[in-house]
Structure 1
């Protein structure tokens, strides 16, 4: 099956382009809504202004009538402040009650001779009127003296002129373009700030992949997630470096551990073959050779058992048992061979069923008890405390000794395969597979094995096992 190589883009380019696209779409929508709102508001404002202008003109005509001059003279069309302010210059007519035009601000216009009767018959101050496929707005205001209507001030202007907006659209366009540039610049610099530490981590990962763990990552980022990413990566690189050094050291240690008994056996048997030793001394050499062979056999068995668990090729016979009985049997079997050790066992108050492989659990207990005994060498009163506790979902088995404890810098690695502490490395033979194998056995049974605490006063390991709720 062929997998097409997808083109990869940088984080900065990816987010900047998509944010810019989203920003542009959003701003276009806002611009359209704003343009519609500006057009609608401008139309309403100009119609209101035309109404005020018509009313003002009617008032001036009435005032002039009281003073004596004839109504309808062109002096009434002199004031244009409102028209200039709102960029409008409507056709303005002064008409009598019959609709005849007495005066206008300029000749021609949509009406000639007289105003259409439909305008006068309609009582609305603001009306719409269609003439020659052009939509006009009509504003009329009565000229009244002593309650009698002498005529009307009528203003005509097309809807197109009333809705025309130039300056506002220009300002809106400048604002929208400014927001787009500002938004793009903001996301560009923010993406750059975010992508820079990620690029540095990617380069450092490549460096680690090539086997160089000496990385230098500045961690001055104020963002919590970026800070945690860099900190976690540096910790990972440090642990990988330490594990790589341990792997090399442990491989040499395992080779030495297997080579030592082979060398001893070879030397002893060669001495017997060459008859360097005879009689009782030869038997003693033979006994030593057999002991060395047994030790090597045990190490090889540990390797095979660990490989089986690591490859999921193992047999686990899960059965329902009372956890008190299983632990008590395991402790009793071990204590028979180590009568010098005092063990305090605290069982659960009532029988509690668990789904467990008793042989595998005994294997874990044996390993923990052996480690506890080794930790308490030369102790005046060696005591091992074993406590069973339970909660709603699991059983806890604590194995506590009063030994010298595990050094703090060694604690994170005790469950690593082939790891052996500095003291064990030189005092005791072995491959360092006891705790890793025990942890795997516990996990296969649905539980776990952890180091609960360790200090100079002693060490406590805890086995977790799930309850059988069926």
Structure 2
């Protein structure tokens, strides 16, 4: 079962809300109720002190009558919303703000609770038959002429305090609920800002993994997700190109291997069963050797390209005369040039031109470029090979007056196995790897190679090498 991130966030949100409400309505409510009780006890104690100092001395001096005293404390009790007793030392309640006490109706609190005067503060006071509900109580002894003459007892309803605390907590609950609704809206907004585009990108990645590289992925926004989506789309495009390349690679490899293998197999069987006369065997054995060499050349080229792709080839950089290498490479094409009556014109800006490079690899580049130039040159034409020194660079040019390269094919000639239609029609024995290998070698030297071509006029390949004043190898 999939564990969706949005569901996990929702569960976390609900769990957090539950914990907040639970703590607020248990621990929070209890703490707030205790705070109200402590505040109430402090208030009642201060009022008891005021009553004692303002009225009780006058009462014991006979300056105030009990009815007048009762009237005064009733007023105070009404303001405090509290019940006030005046109690003598025997425990008799001589004044009660909740009712008028007449002679013989006094209630003795000590008969109900002998320890009633022992505690100054009480959070939960119950006196059966006297108090109708639990009270918060303050007992304040009245001292007159260094003797305790009585007590001021003030009660405040515990239920009222509890109702006040519940009201405040309920108000906080409502505010918290409104906040959670607002937070939920924010969460939904965050979902559409984060998880929603992430889901789209994930869906696109799944489609790309299945090979559906045309699956559209566009986010109408300008942020990191849009950048990520663009990167994923770009990756899909590159994978699509790679997939096409692999298909073309297999098709080209199959074609380029099948052709010589078919010739080898056909001629070998013909030689074996006697179809080819004995006196012609050398001719067809020569064809078999030629096709075998083609296969060997193709395999070598593939290995060379693969080594560059995997950075497995180390360059052996030395100082050598590029003019001398050009001469040796040109000599290797003497037979082919003679057959097509092609003239190789070597033009050097100086007698010796020293460069820093891998001599073997550069000779391979020259061989591939010259082979390509001869292949697409007309009979009785000229190919010019030149070197020019400019600053710390040496420019090497191979220019022919052949059939040229179509404009739409210029950017594709560096691709592996690419052959123009003209190339396939004129010469089907090429591997389509020569220019790819040349570019990989020059790039490995951190140099550049370019082509200038006009169809029907000719082609020039130009690459650079690092010039040196060092010693010849």
Q: Could you say which TM-score interval applies, normalised by the shorter chain? A: 0.5 to 0.7
Structure 1 match to 2:365: 371
Is 1:236 matched up with 2:235? Answer: yes
Q: 1:79 to 1:147 in 2, by over 3 A?
A: same
Q: 1:262 to 1:169 in 2, by over 3 A?
A: closer
Is 1:174 matched up with 2:182? Answer: no
Q: 1:293 to 1:201 in 2, by over 3 A?
A: same
Task: Provide the secondary structure at the position in 1 that maps to 2:30.
Answer: helix
Task: Provide the secondary structure at the position in 2 that maps to 1:155.
Answer: strand
Map residues 400-439 of structure 1 onto 2, 5 A cutoff.
418=416, 429-430=430-431, 432=433
Task: Describe the superposition over 1:362-413 as per-residue Cα deviations: whole angstroms up to 9, x where unpaired.
Answer: 9xx8456523765698552178x99xxxxxxxxxxxx997679xxxx99999
Q: 1:430 to 1:459 in 2, by over 3 A?
A: farther
Q: 1:212 to 1:113 in 2, by over 3 A?
A: closer
- 1:47 Cα deviation after fit: 1.3
Map residues 48-59 of structure 1 onto 2, 5 A cutoff.
48-58=42-52
Q: 1:345 to 1:155 in 2, by over 3 A?
A: same
Structure 2 match to 1:112: 107
Who wins on radius of gyration, i.e. which is larger? 2
Structure 1 match to 2:85: 93
Q: 1:266 to 1:162 in 2, by over 3 A?
A: closer
Is 1:25 matched up with 2:19? Answer: yes
Q: 1:31 touches 1:172 (CA, 8 Å); kept in 2?
A: no
- 1:230 Cα deviation after fit: 0.5
- 1:422 Cα deviation after fit: 7.5
Aligned mate of 2:386, from 380, 387, 393: 380
Map residues 290-301 of structure 1 onto 2, 5 A cutoff.
290-300=289-299
Q: 1:128 touches 1:136 (CA, 8 Å); kept in 2?
A: yes
Structure 2 match to 1:246: 245
Structure 2 match to 1:201: 201
**CA distance in structure 2 between the aligned counterparts of 1:373 and 1:249, rounded to whole angstroms:** 26
Q: 2:256 touches 2:431 (CA, 8 Å); kept in 1?
A: yes
Q: 1:41 to 1:130 in 2, by over 3 A?
A: closer
**CA distance in structure 2 between the aligned counterparts of 1:411 and 1:94, rounded to whole angstroms:** 110
Is 1:43 matched up with 2:37? Answer: yes
Q: Give the structure-2-normalised TM-score.
A: 0.58
**CA distance in structure 2 between the aligned counterparts of 1:114 and 1:45, rounded to whole angstroms:** 25
Is 1:191 matched up with 2:191? Answer: yes
Q: 1:155 to 1:252 in 2, by over 3 A?
A: same
- 1:234 Cα deviation after fit: 0.8
Task: Provide the secondary structure at the position in 2 that maps to 1:298.
Answer: helix
Task: Provide the secondary structure at the position in 1 that maps to 2:42.
Answer: helix
Q: 2:84 touches 2:97 (CA, 8 Å); kept in 1?
A: yes
Q: Give the structure-1-normalised TM-score.
A: 0.58
Aligned residue pair count: 384
Task: Describe the superposition over 1:244-268 as per-residue Cα deviations: whole angstroms up to 9, x where unpaired.
Answer: 3333444444344445656888999
Task: Provide the secondary structure at the position in 1 that maps to 2:94.
Answer: strand
**CA distance in structure 2 between the aligned counterparts of 1:10 and 1:128, rounded to whole angstroms:** 51
Unpaired segments ≥5 residues, structure 2: 101-105, 331-345, 347-351, 374-383, 399-408, 451-461, 467-473
Task: Provide the secondary structure at the position in 1 that maps to 2:356.
Answer: strand
Task: Provide the secondary structure at the position in 1 that maps to 2:87.
Answer: strand
- 1:154 Cα deviation after fit: 1.5
Task: Provide the secondary structure at the position in 2 that maps to 1:92.
Answer: strand
